[in-house]
Amino acid sequence: MNKVFLIIQREYLVRVKKKAFLVSTLLVPGLLLAMYAVIALIYANSDEINAKHIINVKDESGIFAGKFKDNSNLYFSPAKGTLAEAKAELKLTPDFLLVIPADAVKNGGVQILSKTKPNFTITSTIERQMTRIAEDDAIVKAGIDTAKLNAIKPDINIKAIELSDSGEKDSSVGAAYGAGITGAIMIYIALLIYGSQVMRGVIEEKTNRIIEVIVSSVKPFQLMLGKILGIGMVGLTQFLLWIVLSSGVTIIAGKMIAKNDAPAKTEQTVKKNTDQTPQVEDAQPVAPKSPALGFYESLQTIDFGYILSWFIFYFLSGFMLYAALFAAVGSAVDSETETQQFMFPLTLPLLFTYMMSFAFILNSPDSSLAFWLSVIPFTAPIAMMVRLPFGVPDWQLALSAAMMIVGFLFTTWVAARIYRVGILMYGKKSSYKELVKWFFYKE
């Protein structure tokens, strides 16, 4: 056992000391930081979009005046004086002037005047509101009871609140989606990357011809086990560093986004209080969440501790399962170019589950196919990571975990039998037939 520990130590240190390890360890939190920076940048720009605009309404039709509803960044107020006066005043302020001709409903001709070009959100909001007001007006004129109409209106409002409620729920489903996809991608990549590191390590020992020196000191199985565990620990270290650094980045970014958001809200309330328009009271604009904060909050709806612990379990067990087979492949060839024929069937279940994750499991995480994929050891690591954020019954997790352990013990046993023969075969083109023969060799 002491010798296995020595091998683990070497395999681990050799890889952790490499520059590539440092770079890839810093890359992921770096990318996350960049992502937050982009979100923050979008948010900073959205300040401009969300800037408060005062729309002075010159309504000559008499249908629209006083019926516009304010929202978070548009405030409507009746224009004072004549059109010419209002136009003159417009030159001094950043406000907009909405000119509605008397026959606007019939003939259109609504104009919005300003020093700066109004953005799309402003014009579309006004268009929407005007359509609604015109419709209301038409309904009233058609003789429908205004009381009844008002009775309908609160309904519409309630609906809106429900929508925003489900919008929140939506965002946590989105978070589960995100967590599922992230988990699947991470496991898929990790199994391939670290699995092929094991394979390359074995091929390296073969081509360097150090293998025979080492197996004269330790048993081939000890060497294989040490290599797998050592590289597995490299992977684990990398993940833990990623998690620690990424959470650090996330927490700091979250605090900064939250801080940026706070003054925006107070500013808005102040504005609301000082504003003279009568509509302010019943408009009740919902304080908008900045997208960054929204993202950050939806992240918190996921139980990270739970998912992380299972991620580590599925990474380690999945890695052990595949790494053993990768080691067997490495032992059977003389160079990496010869690995193709063995690599394809080996990575097929991974690729299949990976594609199924996006095509199927994400949309129906509780289906029986999803269940079977998350129980079969070869596909379970990816499939289960997709399902986890949506909630998986404990018995299924327990079954899957037990299957994983049985699975990696089995592949390790099979792989070790091929490995012990393969590592000493130089310059022989190996086939599946050969591997089966090696498997059945006596010691």
Partner 1 sequence: MLSIRNIVKQYDGHRALSDVSLEVEKGQIFGLLGPNGAGKTSLIRIINQITAPDSGEVYFDGEKLNQSHIERIGYMPEERGLYKKMEIGEQMIYLARLKGLSRDEAMKRLKYWFEKLEIVNWWNKKVEDLSKGMQQKAQFVATILHQPDLIILDEPFSGFDPVNAELIKNEILELNAKGATILFSTHRMESVEEMCSGIALIHKSKKILDGKVRDIRNSYRNDTFVLEYAGDKLTFDGNQPFQLLDETSGIDGHTIRFKLDGTSSNDVLQYLLPKAQITMLQEVIPSMNEVFIRNVNQTADKHE
- In whole angstroms, what is the distance from residue 381 CA to residue 199 CA? 20
- In whole angstroms, what is the distance from residue 61 CA to residue 76 CA? 16
Q: How far is the CB of 35 from partner 1 (least distance, A)?
A: 34
- In whole angstroms, what is the distance from residue 104 CA to residue 25 CA? 63
The tokens for 217 are 């000191």
**Of the ranges 107-115, 212-220, 285-293, 349-357, which one interacts with partner 1 (CB under 8 A)?**
212-220
Strand order in the sheet with 111-113: 74-78, 53-59, 96-100, 111-113
- Closest to partner 1 by CB, 15 vs 387, is 15
**Should residue 169 be labelled a site residue for partner 1 when binding is judged by CB under 8 A?**
no
Contact 418, 216 (CB under 8 A): no
**Should residue 19 be labelled a site residue for partner 1 when binding is judged by CB under 8 A?**
no
Residue from the set 345, 424, 428, 429 that interacts with partner 1 by CB under 8 A: 424
Contact 195, 326 (CB under 8 A): yes
**Site residues (CB under 8 A) for partner 1, limited to 80-109:** none
Secondary structure of residue 59 in the 3-state scheme:
strand
- Closest to partner 1 by CB, 5 vs 344, is 5
State the angle between helix axes of 146-207 and 291-299 in degrees (0 to 180), rounded to the nearest 10: 60
Q: Phi and psi (nearest 5°) for 111? A: -125, 145
Distances (CA, A) of 43 to 36, 334, 371, 411: 10, 55, 40, 50
Secondary structure of residue 55 in the 3-state scheme:
strand
Site size toward partner 1 (CB under 8 A) is 23
Q: How far is the CB of 209 from partner 1 (least distance, A)?
A: 3
**Should residue 209 be labelled a site residue for partner 1 when binding is judged by CB under 8 A?**
yes
- Closest to partner 1 by CB, 218 vs 283, is 218
**Should residue 45 be labelled a site residue for partner 1 when binding is judged by CB under 8 A?**
no
- In whole angstroms, what is the distance from residue 205 CA to residue 35 CA? 40
**Should residue 214 be labelled a site residue for partner 1 when binding is judged by CB under 8 A?**
yes
- Closest to partner 1 by CB, 413 vs 426, is 426
**Of the ranges 32-40, 100-108, 211-219, 284-292, which one interacts with partner 1 (CB under 8 A)?**
211-219
Residue from the set 215, 241, 299, 409 that interacts with partner 1 by CB under 8 A: 215
Q: Which residues of 4-30 are buried (b: 16+ CB within 10 A; e: fewer)?
A: beebbeebbeebeeeeebeeebeebbe
Residue from the set 135, 212, 303, 366 that interacts with partner 1 by CB under 8 A: 212
**Should residue 429 be labelled a site residue for partner 1 when binding is judged by CB under 8 A?**
no
Q: How far is the CB of 338 from partner 1 (least distance, A)?
A: 18
**Should residue 217 be labelled a site residue for partner 1 when binding is judged by CB under 8 A?**
yes
Q: How far is the CB of 195 from partner 1 (least distance, A)?
A: 20
| Residue from 225, 244, 430, 409 nearest 333 by CA | 430
Q: How far is the CB of 442 from partner 1 (least distance, A)?
A: 7
**Of the ranges 4-12, 101-109, 113-121, 321-329, which one interacts with partner 1 (CB under 8 A)?**
4-12
Neighbours of 372 (CB within 10 A): 12
- Closest to partner 1 by CB, 367 vs 431, is 431
358 DSSP assignment: I
**Should residue 134 be labelled a site residue for partner 1 when binding is judged by CB under 8 A?**
no
**Of the ranges 44-52, 178-186, 215-223, 291-299, which one interacts with partner 1 (CB under 8 A)?**
215-223
Half-sphere exposure at residue 336, Cβ-oriented, CA atoms within 13 angstroms: 7
**Should residue 204 be labelled a site residue for partner 1 when binding is judged by CB under 8 A?**
yes
**Of the ranges 90-98, 133-141, 207-215, 328-336, which one interacts with partner 1 (CB under 8 A)?**
207-215
- Closest to partner 1 by CB, 3 vs 52, is 3
The tokens for 124 are 């579309």
Q: How far is the CB of 333 from partner 1 (least distance, A)?
A: 16
Q: Phi and psi (nearest 5°) for 102? A: -60, -35
Residue from the set 216, 273, 274, 340 that interacts with partner 1 by CB under 8 A: 216
**Should residue 436 be labelled a site residue for partner 1 when binding is judged by CB under 8 A?**
no
Residue from the set 149, 151, 213, 402 that interacts with partner 1 by CB under 8 A: 213
**Should residue 22 be labelled a site residue for partner 1 when binding is judged by CB under 8 A?**
no
Contact 327, 413 (CB under 8 A): no
**Of the ranges 76-84, 93-101, 203-211, 282-290, which one interacts with partner 1 (CB under 8 A)?**
203-211
The tokens for 264 are 């925006």
Task: Write the DSSP string, 82-136.
Answer: -HHHHHHHHTTSS-EEEEE-TTHHHH---EEE-SSPPPHHHHHHHHHHHHHHHHH
The tokens for 30 are 């770096």
What is the contact surface with partner 1 in residues (CB under 8 A)?
3, 6-7, 10, 14, 204-205, 207-210, 212-218, 424, 426, 437, 442-443
